[in-house]
Amino acid sequence: MAQRKRRGRRSFGAVRALPSGRYQASYLDPEGRRRNAPTTFTTLTDADIWLTLQRAALETGSWRGTDSRITVGEYAQTWFAALRVRSRTMYGYRKTFDRWIAPTFGTIAVTAVTPQMVRAWVGTFSEEHPYARVNAYRLLGRLFSDAISDGIVRETPVRVRGARQGPPPRQGHALTIDEILAVAENMPTGRGLAVILSAFCALRPGEVLALRRRDIDQTAHVVHVRETASARYGGGAHIGPTKTAASNRTVNYPAELHDQIAAHLAEHAAPGKAGHIFPSPRNPGDPLSSGAYLTGVKQAAKAAGLEDVRPHDLRHSGATLAAGTGATLRELMARLGHTSPEIAMQYQHSARERDRAIADALGASLRGSGSDESGPSSGVF
């Protein structure tokens, strides 16, 4: 009987027989870490073929290793540490991860997450939290996109069709000048000017709340936008840098507002150059909170007979009014602090729509004047 030829010692990798009768293959990566095959093999030959492919990939430079040990939670911590974003954005990312991602995937190996698992996770979100689902899904997708770049996985399991899409965003309302003045008039004492500046200077809510005495030049009639205010988060400060570099800007306000601004500074602003123009009633060293401002605007709008008006609608109104004056796209971008011309173009479109409404209203007046009891008017056309 012929003697079976003994297999020689492997020059790369290792294969061991499992109690199940299958074979597990592994090898040492360039950093000396042992890498196991993602699956076990039916035959020894199959395991050897897999090792041959891994060795060829290492030698040709096409190797993309996988780390079967690191969990999603562990990878997220290193990912967060290397991420360079605004502190408020980082706070939001971490809060989203801890609230929505970690409970499901935190202790699972990155390489073990499957598309089916992600699909089941997406299905757990309530329809009452559509934005939570969208934000969490996008964050998980970004994590796995970088995991591919880091060589941990070869492809992302985050590929549920439509999961990135949320409900359409709320469309802003363009208020008329009379409506803006009515909202300002119904604001609590000392806060009407916030509505006026938000609208006539097209300021973001956080920008108007962050204004200080030094930001108002009463001689030149300009507002210097240097900071933005937001709700406290994670022990952070109320005041921070503007949204973008372009948001740091100088905006002219109508000279007709001079007396109103002077009176407000004399009666309601906190003292000193760094004093807040709209100080918190509880702590004058802080600006008026965004929550108090939101509540004030909503209640003032309701008192003025308007529905569903929010602080950002005032900026939207100011941008539309500015576009209606014939401002160019570049001028609108500078006034609004935008870096994208597409957004500024939306306000030009809104201005054209309002001009159409004005023309239609004039046409209705003409039709009405031609059908009254005095008979058709002559020479109208």
Active centre residues (catalytic)? 204, 312, 315, 338, 347
Contact 236, 255 (CB under 8 A): no
Would you say how long the chain is, in residues?
A: 381
Going from the C-alpha of 253 to that of each of 98, 166, 261, 330, 360, the distances in angstroms are: 44, 37, 10, 18, 30
Q: How far apart are CA 149 and CA 64, in angstroms?
A: 9
> b or e along 175-186 (b: 16 or more beta carbons within 10 Å of the residue's beta carbon)?
beeebbbbbbeb
- Pull the structure tokens for residue 158: 């985050």
Furthest-apart CA pair in the chain: how many Å? 126
Edge-to-edge strands, sheet with 23-28: 14-17, 23-28, 34-36
Q: How far apart are CA 303 and CA 184, in angstroms?
A: 11
Q: How far apart are CA 320 and CA 346, in angstroms?
A: 9
